[in-house]
Amino acid sequence: MVSKRNSSDPISYSFGHFKNSIETTLVVIKGILLEYSSTLRLVTSLDLSDNNLTGNIPVGITDLLGLRSLNLSINRLSGRIPRTIGNMVTLESLDFSYNQLSGAIPESISNLTFLSYLNVAYNNLTGKIPTGTQLQSFNASNFLGNNLCGPPLTDNCSINAVQPDDAGNSEGSKGGLEVDWFWFYVSAALGFVVAFWSIAGPLVFKKSWRDAYFKMLDSMGTKARQCFRP
């Protein structure tokens, strides 16, 4: 992790119990090996792509305010993009593609007014792409492979769209309704069976009741015919 110090001091870093200051750093820029001694803050380009790096992006990297190009692509970096990324106001190129970053793209990234290239494709990022003139002008392919929405992507984060939590609630409600209807039909069927056999049962098993029932029907039929007889 890099810690912020006075501009005249070397940038220090710590990893577990190991602490030191970056006095001399070798950086390869476009195939040229450059040596920086106590002047890391003057580095304008940092390319650590395809190095099998793991863990979170150190927040301290955003203290390198002189960076114009930062490339951390094709690694196994996880966690969130530092919220202080917007402090790197001189950035012109930023590439976090092909990692395992999660969460939302920080709103502060819209502060990078000099940014002309941004690639966060194929991570696990979610949410709306922050609003910023230059962000919406980037190629949509630079945001693919995530769960992002908003311009320049075709998914415009419609307010009518079901959010993940709402989707879960919707599915739960739908399931509840299906269960309610199921028990309604079961109750109705049982009620019909009970009512039917409470009436038909005695007629089937008791001859005296059956004879009385049919006599009653015959009597009602006779009276009905008399009522309609001219």
Rounded to whole angstroms, how far apart are CA atoms 125 and 129?
10
pLDDT, tens digit, for every residue of 162-172?
A: 444 444 444 44
Using the predicted structure, report yes or no on whether residue 128 has a pLDDT greater than 80: yes
pLDDT class of 6 with cuts at 50, 70, 90: very low
Predicted pLDDT of residue 60: 85
Query: Against a cut of 0.75, is the pTM above it?
Result: no
What is the model's pLDDT at position 206? Answer: 60
- Out of 28-42, 124-138, 177-191, least confident range: 28-42
Share of the chain above pLDDT 70, in %: 51
Residue 83 confidence (pLDDT) above 90:
yes
Residue that has been written with the tokens 């970096």 in this structure: 77
φ/ψ region of 31 (left if φ > 0, alpha if ψ in -120 to 50, else beta) reads: left
- Is 136 or 11 the better-scoring residue by pLDDT? 136
Q: Across 21-30, 95-104, 193-202, which has the greatest mean pLDDT?
A: 95-104
Q: Bridge partners of 37?
A: 24
The CATH number of the domain covering residues in 44-160: 3.80.10.10
| pLDDT range class, residue 12, cuts 50, 70, 90 | very low
Q: How far apart are CA 54 and CA 32, in angstroms?
A: 25
Per-residue pLDDT reduced to its tens digit, 48-61: 899 999 999 998 88
CA 156-160-165 angle, 5° bins: 100
Dist CA 24 CA 33 (whole Å): 13
Residue extents of the structural domains in the chain: 44-160, 167-228
